[in-house]
Structure 1
């Protein structure tokens, strides 16, 4: 990931130029070295864009960039130690503790020794940077500045369900495959239909079209979809099949899984799609297939694969070979994606260039799609010609026309987006990304540019980057879960491109893997002594993701060895107590302990993670308490918690004054939140989600203090009425920023709280669902001048709307029979009385 050199250089320059560093460097006597380092870094940074473009054709330049990046990483780590000291000082200031100030601030028994060590490190970094800088003159590099403006061409999101009208040129293929599904085979009760074709042809797309076809839905009693990718592990596949069928995510033995699978498919005609299969081990396939023979005659398995030999192993029937699209269909697809409707008629020259680009794609829809999205809304002929005539088309093409098209699209990315894309390679193929968590992951590695607009947060920058990558088709299968987040995947070929860019810096750790010494990001699939031994030669690891449950000894090894960790993902682990050694990871920004169902407590040392930005404790049902000093995590921005607490007091959560997003989730014992919260707490909080807390009776929410809150979602809290919220008495003077408000399944909610009037100029969406005792909308509701969308569903006692609701852009009523009847008489709105 050579692009990181430019990214890291920018971060270092930004840090060195800050006032806080000037003050600290002066106090520590390293001001001169840091100033020289800043000047040298500025001189290097301006030529890095040119260097990164030329490195592919100049081996020496590539080596120079590698050396530079190595020292930049070391410089970032040293400056991060400065930053940690600043945070420690802030913690002590908050504690108002003068007695321990000096010793704690310098993190050692002798502050003079610490100063000397830091000065020595800074001097060493500066000398190495100077040596590397002296060499740059040999490469005749031009000074360039990046245009950081991100041009957004955002379109409506797609979903895993693909409407047939959005797919071009596959009607005949769809009909033929459906006919194969309807055929009755006398030889076996479960038959396999392989769909074979090169990557990017649309094998998965055509399988989805067939899978969701009404005729197919009626024909099969049970449908299941599993993406296989590279790891054809029978136990894992059975688990995924069951999860697709019944949502079963229990940790069962292989025998229990087999019994569950047989029981569930018994006497049912089923359709199973095994997407993206590459397994050529006949024994593994027979082992899985034998478990699928208990269904009714006529059950079918669709297999999509790039490899014809895989199809031969899995089926005695002839494969369905998917061909490339015709030139006519490719051009239709290109025009649909590259131009706004009718725009191609206004730009005939662009259309002619587009025809030539389409020819180079050789009938591969993914190639057409990628380049069309790249050129969307661009009207400069030179940009189109540069794509048509690019030298990259002369590459050896292992995947027909797809590799050059994908690399072209990547090369055209702005430099600040390239590391964001490349970092996605650390996740496995077919990984379901969550936009909120991926943005936090990017933030942890510091690859989001600081916003120039003071009204934007880093999360907003990440959201812009995400949408730009989506608009360029680097992600697919987008599903909007709610207004806060959506999920998506990467096409396996796009993932391959990310892996090729990440090169030796990202590695999957297995017992047989070979790890390069320079690896920085690890994803563990195996454990054991073989894995631990491989870690001994590594020293610069910044990311550890455990894909499977790992031993405490391996975790201890990682914590003790890798002191520069930024990301530690322990999701789905199973240990009762987190090791106290976690507190030594002072560079840590992202810690995920979600879905650890047996963890009982967090060590107090976790409060030493002053740099931590993201802490995920979702579905930690047995977590007894949060550490008393959790307020010392003074950079925390995203916090998701499940706990056995009965009250999240002001000291437990309210003291986290830097929070931007707070999710309180499935806390079955929780009775109150924010008790004793004072003015000035949570003033940066933008998102608050409270859900599945059946004992919650009080938020004791000082709403008037939450001046930055934009989204509030409360759901499945059967004892919560929301009438006790502080601020009711002076709601006329409230100045709130709320934009989205959602109440779901709150049986004690009868009317809307008065404080909502404080968002008269900001509230855009109001959604009330499943509130069985909700009786009336207030007469002041039309005074919410910014309200555009009002959704009401399953509120049977609601019988009327206030006057003056005609200005709404969207009014949706569902499951409110009395209100729906009156709405049809008085308003033009969308209703459903079923």
Structure 2
């Protein structure tokens, strides 16, 4: 589960770093251009984080990519920390110099500014490498609707940062003694650590926090950043996030009105919560089996309002006990309800009965039901109106989410709900057909509740977003029974997502205003039905559609506002259009981004790209049977990002005119022999060349002054690399080799190369000796040297090395000697991931390897900070 949150963590830290790019700060410190680059890089990376999060579980390369991203994020976070402290120092110094007693000497502002520029440049270089890999591993970009805003006040974590701690032992011990000393009769609330920016105040605080004596003395410890803007509510929220229990005597606070805490760690609530009759805010209630923890405790909490999630409903006996919660009659203030059963449990004896007794109030706006194991939903969900008259039970419902109700055989009737905007249905394994009952139980002469103007019947009159996911047995999605002009279905639907419904063969076609369509893993006939009458699409994203040989003819012709088209893993696709030479691009004048990847049978792409008047990104990746790449003449000045994959011996006509390109990747071109001159590509920042086994030459890149990142892999016949490269990825040679091929062809880079990534394979047993001559190397990453047991002694010769990363070296057991490791005087970071034998020997106090690395400021082993 740790991997599942990597991208979330990275995204949060990325958003915080965005505050560095504010105009007044960049102007004041004189590195506005570097901060602009940082902003652009982060925006692009954020756009692929959602896709990376989904794919990291099954894709090792994505996991490693996220791991590197997280590293860079933390480095950027430290820069923000130092920046914030320096700003604070200047403010305090200006306001009252005499009242601040500093533990450290004043820093030179010119030197500080110079250091900050270099640090941000290093971060930008790291982000450039990460961005280059986006196209290579096939990450899909999504729109970034908003970026969370953070103040300039520094945020910190409890991990020891990468600055070496020298001469601070006395300070740390003094604070530790102050905290736990026997002579302290008075509780200490605040211990200030005052000093100038960048000289270790946060490091001291972290060392105190991690000190063994402190851990033994205090039962509970929480790290929270307290910024200059002392926001009590924010600090309290951050503390509450880590609570795993509430005070057992909470029941005595009978006038308590608000409990605003997260359910993240809390597994059990105190007994007798029902005594808190004044309670208005309770975000969740966890049902227990002990007396005083049953669902009846909710019965007296008639003042509850807002949101409430109820967990462990498997502990409720029957309908009558469920009714004791009084959700229908005494909870009119609740507008959002979640009903949750545990996912890992046996039996479903009473789920229908219990849910029947949990009928909510008629003013509910949001409903979620999760892990319900009944075969049908209760009557209050299925009913169209209540017994009191024509008032709908869910007259105000805005959204409904049904998740992993695996034994339900049908979806409830929802089409008549007048305000419903969002429907999400996931993991309903037993549903085989979405029938006409999904729309409404009314006839054409039915109730006025679903009538629109001119006596038309409106089904799903307000729905904007519909999601169907993980329904492996769903075969049919029927249309409404009355497809007449009097019946209007989905008049407001803008987003439709269908994923992991592999047996779906039929679907409706009435989506008059659909803008975004995302389809993953359904049959081609269902996709053809859905898309047959669409005219308003702006985004189409499809993948894993079996039997789809080409896009339906009307998709591109009828949707002239289409701005983004993405096609993934459609193994049967031969061409975009039924006629390979048809000029379908003439209908795509609004298209900005085209992406097609991993379509094994793709042979043709339409030519005449000059009709794509708005195109900025054109990506064709991992399509090994593509015979030729279309000419890009006519769009060369528009393109900013280009990824090519084809079977030609030469690259497409017009490439040399693409002088506005910032990113160029050439991948899986088995017959490509050479790359044309790129000297006019002055905007090019990233160049990737992958899996071109017959490539024999690439042009000189010395005049490309904007180029910061070059990645070359699986180009076995390439005799020599360009001059003056600063960053290089190389590897992926013949799998049967047991040693890395000679690197004599890159010896000319020994004075310029700063980052080197070696990508090995299963049989490799050693590193190439030539690496020891790269004395300017700052970052070395070694991947997949599976047979190698020891790192060479000459590693200690890399005197400039700052970061060493070892990934997936299964048999690596030994580091160089302690003397060699000590010669790496600039080494600040050691990362070890998926190297089980080395991990076992590098733990604190374990074997001989720990003594070799104990002096390194930052050590991370399998994502754990040591």
> Does TM-score exceed 0.5, indicating one fold?
no
Structure number with larger C-alpha Rg:
2
TM-score by length of 1: 0.40
Structure number with higher helix proportion: 1
Q: Which has the higher contact order (CA 8 A, sep 6+)?
A: 1
TM-score by length of 2: 0.39
